[in-house]
């Protein structure tokens, strides 16, 4: 997945990029980060997996002339805000997104209707209806992500901004954060997080003991950066499941509410086609039992079908016909 960072000049975009990627001081604007997950590491340890493959997240800190194109191509957006009235700034940005999407969709609708007049294609008809519904939603001042999925084929390739999940990062001093707590909120595809970016960067770059002492001195209980990956998963409406074997232990993302069949398709299309059943255990059960062999001995493996709703932290073994 690719997350694109944007915001006003001097808001702290590059500092956030450095915090999330560990690339402080380097002239880089794109970095791919392994999303470490201790649950996967514990599961790999008890199974004796040869290697661990983490989820990879790309972070982009584009130049000003590249920002809009990168935002349209991204899976999600990170908006850095440093403003006397951050909620006003957030509201302004989201209104700009609605206007840009309206312009995009109006042009697309006009072209689709012209094409439909030449050939009565059912796919085009569905696209026209979806766009007309989307324009109604935009006219109500609502972002498209509240109604549609970014995977909807009718909007493929349009780069609609209000369809994308967004995390607004309010960059504020730690001493001001208690008064800003009411800003932190989560809605469908949208989150607001208050962070002191410069202080978090300095703490992350210090040694473990020094960091602990400084956090105690400043009354800081936790660093937002350390939980930021989970914030991204929540904004993108994703859960994480694992496949764990002797050769490899691997983490995968899946839309919340996704089925075992959809999880199988994430692993490989052939596995989904030949799906027979899914062997399932929570990662806690997996670790406590000592891996697959322990689960078999204890009779604690659940056998689930195609429609099983995968849960965050599930360990899956998909049985399939080749």
- CA–centroid distance for 298 within its chain: 36
Residue 202 and residue 69 share a domain: yes
CB 281 within 8 Å of CB 295: yes
Query: What's the whole-model pTM score?
Result: 0.92
Burial of 84 (0-12, 13-18, 19+ CB in 10 A): exposed
CATH code for position 95: 1.10.150
CATH code for position 271: 3.10.20.30
Residue 6 and residue 77 share a domain: yes
Question: Is 259 among the domain residues?
Answer: yes
Residue 102 and residue 72 share a domain: no
Residue 248 and residue 225 share a domain: no
Q: Give every residue of the chain whose pLDDT is below 50, as ranges.
A: none
Number of domains in the chain: 3
Question: Is 262 among the domain residues?
Answer: yes
Q: What is the pLDDT of residue 228?
A: 95
CB 195 within 8 Å of CB 15: no
Residue 79 and residue 192 share a domain: yes
Question: What are 67-106's pLDDT values in tens digits?
Answer: 999 999 999 999 999 988 999 999 999 999 999 999 999 9
Q: What is the pLDDT of residue 154?
A: 93
Question: Is 42 among the domain residues?
Answer: no
Question: Is 44 among the domain residues?
Answer: no
Question: Is 71 among the domain residues?
Answer: yes
Length of the chain as a residue count = 322
Last residue of one domain, picked from the residues 181, 204, 234? 234
Give DSSP secondary structure letters for 238-266. EEEEEEE-SSEEEEEEEETT-BHHHHHHH
Q: What is the pLDDT of residue 183?
A: 85
- CA–centroid distance for 144 within its chain: 17
Range of the domain at 69: 2-37+54-83+165-234
Question: Is 46 among the domain residues?
Answer: no
Last residue of one domain, picked from the residues 213, 234, 255? 234
Question: Is 48 among the domain residues?
Answer: no
């Amino acid at each position: 997945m690719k997350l694109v960072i944007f915001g006003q000049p001097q808001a702290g975009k590059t500092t956030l990029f450095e915090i999330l990627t560990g690339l402080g001081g380097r002239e880089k604007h794109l970095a791919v980060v392994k999303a470490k997950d201790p649950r996967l590491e514990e599961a790999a340890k008890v199974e004796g997996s040869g290697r661990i493959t983490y989820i990879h997240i790309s972070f982009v800190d584009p130049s000003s002339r590249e920002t809009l194109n990168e935002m349209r191509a991204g899976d999600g957006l990170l908006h850095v805000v440093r403003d006397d009235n951050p909620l006003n700034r957030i509201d302004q940005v989201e209104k700009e997104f609605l206007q840009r999407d309206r312009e995009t969709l109006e042009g697309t609708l006009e072209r689709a209707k012209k094409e439909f007049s030449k050939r009565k294609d059912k796919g085009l008809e569905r696209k026209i209806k979806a766009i007309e519904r989307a324009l109604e939603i935009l006219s109500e001042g609502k972002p498209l992500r509240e109604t549609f999925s970014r995977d909807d084929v009718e909007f493929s390739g349009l780069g609609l901004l209000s369809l994308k999940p967004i995390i607004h990062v309010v960059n504020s001093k730690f001493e001001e954060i208690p008064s800003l707590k009411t800003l932190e909120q989560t809605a469908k595809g949208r989150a607001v997080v208050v962070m002191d970016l410069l202080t978090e960067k300095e703490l992350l770059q210090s040694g473990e003991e020094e960091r602990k002492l400084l956090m105690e001195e400043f009354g800081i209980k936790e660093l937002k950066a350390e939980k930021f990956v989970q914030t991204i998963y929540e904004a993108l409406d994703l859960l994480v499941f694992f496949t764990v074997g002797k050769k490899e232990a691997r983490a995968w993302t899946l839309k919340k509410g996704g089925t075992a069949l959809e999880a199988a398709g994430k692993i490989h299309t052939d596995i989904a086609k030949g799906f027979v059943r899914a062997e399932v255990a929570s990662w806690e059960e997996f670790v406590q039992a000592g891996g697959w062999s322990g689960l078999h001995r204890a009779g604690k493996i659940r056998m689930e079908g195609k429609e099983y709703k995968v849960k965050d932290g599930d360990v899956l073994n998909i049985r399939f016909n080749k």
